[in-house]
């Protein structure tokens, strides 16, 4: 019931409250409904804007158009041009202005239109977003979210399909979230906006239109309950599918692929556990390592190039912590170390079920 609760918190005109409530009402009736990840993200922003006047959304084409992926659809109409607006076409400007706004009492949520379009903002992200809290010994916090539609699998042309999470994960001071399910998309975006630390929010764009059966009202209640209890999904991986023989570790767009591989393996009599990392930074060593210690075998799956990446970090961490439990070296199935390929070649590049199963087969089962 967070919509009603937050309206009661004041600061929102009743017309706005009604509009938000009716917009929300279209997203869910009662009980679980098929909801897309796009709608879940949209609802998360609308709910956050509704409950906190300092939450602002801006970026390129996010206003009247609702974003090129329509993730911000209706926010300008509901909350007005002061709360959700288009900026000039300049990513460093978007992020740099958000830094100043966060320094001065706002909670900006900005959209980078595509993964590779965020690179002009890299200096702002690395030199300021990540470091302001540290440089000022905590005097200035930057509660801001940088949403990045990322990764491939949509037949996009070059510069539209990069997996850029490793750049951000490598940067001390940034939290990096990568939801893979509709429910997590809602909860994790709410938590990212609630966070007093800056969050890189990596949205797997090929999953935007994937649907799960979700009770949005229950998610709101869960978010409210989590917030009250001081718990969150931040830093907590999820067991997406329990299993006993080997662990598949995935995040974002490769989680459904890992689940498909586990389903296929089950038909061949092999029980694979799938871990959805969810929060790349902070990383949940505990859940990941508990699974690997249990199964003794692991494959890490990521779309990004494998070299010097999040996947290599996961392998290193698990190896350091689980060496004596391992029956075989940890394998990785990642993108090749080539620039993201043209649409007709991307299926050779992307981690697929067969390649994952081949890697699982290589985990020294004969020993």
Partner 1 sequence: MTISADHTAPGQTGQGRQSPDHSEEPRNEGPVAEAVRKFGITAEDYMLPARHQIQMVDQHGNLKPHSEQGAEPGHEYPLPGDEELLAAYEQLVVGRRVNDQNSALVRQGRMAVYPSSHGQEACQVAAALCLSEGDWLFPTYRDSVAVMTRGVDPVQTMTLFRGDWHSGYDSAKYKVGIQCTPLTTQLLHGVGVAHAAKLRGEDTVVLAMCGDGATSEGDFHEALNFAAVFHLPVVFFVQNNQYAISVPLAHQSVAPSLAHKAVGYGMAGERVDGNDVVALLAVLDRAVKLAREGSGPLLVEAHTYRMQAHTNADDATRYRQDSEVAQWVARDPLTRMKTYLADKGLLNDDGEARIAEKAEAVATQLRNGLSEDVPVDPQDLFKYVFSTPTPQLKEQSALLADELAREASASASTNPESAK
Q: Cα(93)–Cα(360) distance, rounded to whole angstroms? A: 45
Q: For residue 343, what are the contacts with CB-CB under 8 A and spacing of at least 6? A: 155, 156, 157
User: What is the DSSP-derived secondary structure letter of residue 205?
Assistant: G
**Which structure tokens are listed for 143?**
């509660």
Q: Cα(19)–Cα(36) distance, rounded to whole angstroms? A: 21
Q: Cα(192)–Cα(202) distance, rounded to whole angstroms? A: 11
Of 138 and 155, CB closest to partner 1: 138
CA pseudo-torsion sign 15, 16, 20, 23: positive
Q: Cα(333)–Cα(355) distance, rounded to whole angstroms? A: 7
Of 58 and 340, CB closest to partner 1: 58
Q: Cα(234)–Cα(28) distance, rounded to whole angstroms? A: 25
Nearest to 134 by CA among 165, 176, 172: 172
**160 flagged as catalytic:** yes
Catalytic residue (choose from 160, 170, 223, 305): 160
Of 257 and 309, CB closest to partner 1: 309
**Which structure tokens are listed for 18?**
């009604």
Collapsing DSSP to helix, strand or coil, 154 comes out as coil
Phi, psi of 181 (to 5 degrees): -120, 165
**Which structure tokens are listed for 352?**
């697929």
Q: Cα(217)–Cα(222) distance, rounded to whole angstroms? A: 9
Phi, psi of 61 (to 5 degrees): 65, 20
* Minimum CB–partner distance for residue 23 and partner 1 (Å): 17
Taking CA atoms, 304 is separated from 57, 86, 349, in Å, by: 28, 30, 10
* Minimum CB–partner distance for residue 352 and partner 1 (Å): 31
Of 211 and 293, CB closest to partner 1: 293
Q: Is the peptide bond before 154 cis (omega within 30 degrees of 0)?
A: no
* Minimum CB–partner distance for residue 107 and partner 1 (Å): 10
Collapsing DSSP to helix, strand or coil, 204 comes out as strand
* Minimum CB–partner distance for residue 290 and partner 1 (Å): 14
Of 126 and 266, CB closest to partner 1: 126
Of 122 and 260, CB closest to partner 1: 122
* Minimum CB–partner distance for residue 356 and partner 1 (Å): 27
* Minimum CB–partner distance for residue 35 and partner 1 (Å): 29
Binding site for partner 1 (CB under 8 A): 56, 63-64, 80-82, 85, 87-88, 90, 92-93, 95-106, 108, 120, 123-124, 127-128, 131, 133-141, 172-173, 175, 195-197, 235, 281-283, 285-286
Of 3 and 124, CB closest to partner 1: 124
Pair 317, 215: CB distance under 8 Å: no
| Catalytic residue numbers, as ranges | 160
């Amino acid at each position: 019931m967070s919509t009603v609760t937050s309206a009661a918190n004041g600061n929102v005109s009743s017309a706005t409250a009604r509009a938000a409530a009716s917009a929300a009402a279209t997203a869910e009736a009662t009980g679980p409904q098929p909801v897309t990840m796009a709608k879940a993200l949209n609802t998360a922003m609308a709910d956050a804007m509704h409950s906190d006047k300092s939450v602002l959304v801006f970026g390129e084409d996010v206003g009247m158009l609702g974003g090129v992926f329509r993730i911000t659809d209706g926010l300008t109409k509901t909350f007005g041009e002061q709360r959700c607006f288009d900026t000039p076409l300049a990513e460093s400007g978007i992020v740099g202005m958000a830094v100043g706004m966060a320094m001065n009492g706002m909670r900006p949520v900005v959209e980078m239109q595509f993964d590779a379009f965020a690179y002009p903002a890299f200096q702002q992200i690395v030199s300021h977003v990540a470091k302001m809290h540290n440089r000022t010994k905590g005097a200035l916090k930057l509660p801001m979210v940088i949403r990045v539609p990322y990764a491939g699998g949509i037949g996009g042309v070059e510069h539209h399909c990069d997996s850029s999470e490793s750049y951000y994960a490598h940067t001390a001071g940034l939290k990096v979230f990568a939801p893979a399910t509709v429910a997590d998309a809602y909860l994790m975006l709410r938590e990212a906006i609630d966070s007093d630390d800056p969050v890189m929010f990596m949205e797997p764009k090929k999953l935007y239109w994937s649907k799960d059966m979700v009770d949005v009202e229950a998610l709101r209640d869960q978010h409210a309950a989590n917030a009250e209890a001081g718990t969150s999904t931040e830093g907590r991986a999820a067991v997406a599918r329990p299993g006993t023989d080997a662990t598949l570790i995935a995040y974002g767009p490769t989680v459904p692929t890992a689940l498909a591989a586990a389903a296929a393996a089950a038909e061949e009599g092999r029980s694979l556990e799938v871990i959805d990392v969810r929060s790349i930074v902070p990383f949940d060593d505990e859940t990941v390592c508990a699974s690997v210690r249990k199964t003794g075998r692991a494959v890490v799956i990521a779309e990004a190039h494998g070299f010097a990446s999040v996947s290599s970090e996961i392998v290193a961490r698990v190896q350091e912590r689980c060496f004596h439990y391992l029956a075989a070296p940890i394998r990785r199935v990642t993108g090749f170390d080539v620039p993201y390929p043209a649409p007709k070649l991307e299926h050779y590049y992307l981690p697929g079920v067969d390649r994952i199963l081949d890697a699982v087969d290589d985990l020294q089962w004969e020993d």
